[in-house]
Amino acid sequence: MDSPLISSASARYISVDWSLIAMTAVAVALLVVTTVRTAPTLEPGTPFRSGGLEVLSTHETLVAFEDFSFGAQGWTTTAARAASGSRGVYGPFDMGAIAKRFDLPPDTAQVRLAFDLHLPATASGDGFSVRVNGEPVIEGAMPFGSSNAVIRQRGAAGDYAVWILLDQPGDAVSLEVEAMPGPNAPWAIDNVSVVASTGTS
């Protein structure tokens, strides 16, 4: 006579199998939420990164990222090298120019270049310039004219993040960084990234 009461009481509880499935589903949901990253909102004049890789949108392609841990293939230089001993940067240089050409996907509407510039802590930036496709975008460590370029100090004195945006670049983009002879040597660059986009921001 008591068996119906026992049966109805046990029906109120979730079986062990269903509780394991529910806990697994919750764990998977938490994992997805914590690992999915969205691109940061880009404010005008704000670089996407301050060293290292960045988050890309679906319409963007990483053309190149170089941290110089394994050399500097493809770069041309007329700069006089200072005594080397540092790894993971391109330099240090006393003077002159360094340059590299990057091939872009055929449907590129916009390209974003970024790199870290390392100057001596006492350097004013005089004599340093950056050219993209032969056009000046930075002169004396300041954006040149109306160029869509940003240079900001980051971390220690003498360390800068450089960010350049170029519309309709064509099938390739060339980056040239130059320093004139002077008391502000040596200098170096690091974490060069080139990102091509099929749409303009």
Based on the domain organization, do 7 and 97 belong to the same domain?
no
Based on the domain organization, do 19 and 113 belong to the same domain?
no
C-beta of residue 90 within 8 angstroms of C-beta of residue 97 = no
- Whether 22 maps to a domain, the answer reads yes
**Residues in Cβ contact with 58 at an 8 Å cutoff, skipping those fewer than 6 apart:** none
For the chain, where are the E strands, in sequence order? 60-66, 76-77, 90-93, 96-103, 110-118, 128-132, 135-139, 142-143, 149-153, 159-167, 172-179, 187-197
Distance CA 30, CA 14 (A): 22
Neighbours of 100 (CB within 10 A): 20
- Whether 90 maps to a domain, the answer reads yes
Res 99: pLDDT: 93
Res 182: pLDDT: 59
Task: Give pLDDT tens digits for 84-106.
Answer: 555 688 888 877 889 999 999 98
Based on the domain organization, do 82 and 30 belong to the same domain?
no
Q: Which domain holds residue 26?
A: 3-35
For 119-171, where are the E strands, in sequence order? 128-132, 135-139, 142-143, 149-153, 159-167
- Domain count across the chain: 2
- Whether 41 maps to a domain, the answer reads no
C-beta of residue 60 within 8 angstroms of C-beta of residue 195 = yes
Residue 171 φ/ψ, nearest 5 degrees: -90, -5
Neighbours of 26 (CB within 10 A): 10
Distance CA 51, CA 57 (A): 18
For 179, counting Cβ atoms within 10 Å of its Cβ (0-12 exposed, 13-18 middle, 19+ buried), the class is buried
Based on the domain organization, do 146 and 92 belong to the same domain?
yes
Which segments of the chain does DSSP mark as H helices, in order? Answer: 3-10, 16-35
Sole residue written with tokens 């055929």 = 106
Distance CA 185, CA 196 (A): 32
- Whether 17 maps to a domain, the answer reads yes
Res 47: pLDDT: 45
Based on the domain organization, do 71 and 28 belong to the same domain?
no
Based on the domain organization, do 16 and 69 belong to the same domain?
no
Q: What is the pTM of this model?
A: 0.68
Give every residue of the chain whose pLDDT is below 50, as ranges.
1, 3, 5-7, 33, 35-51
- Whether 173 maps to a domain, the answer reads yes
Q: How many residues does the chain have?
A: 201
Based on the domain organization, do 23 and 120 belong to the same domain?
no
- Whether 19 maps to a domain, the answer reads yes
The CATH number for 103's domain is 2.60.120.200
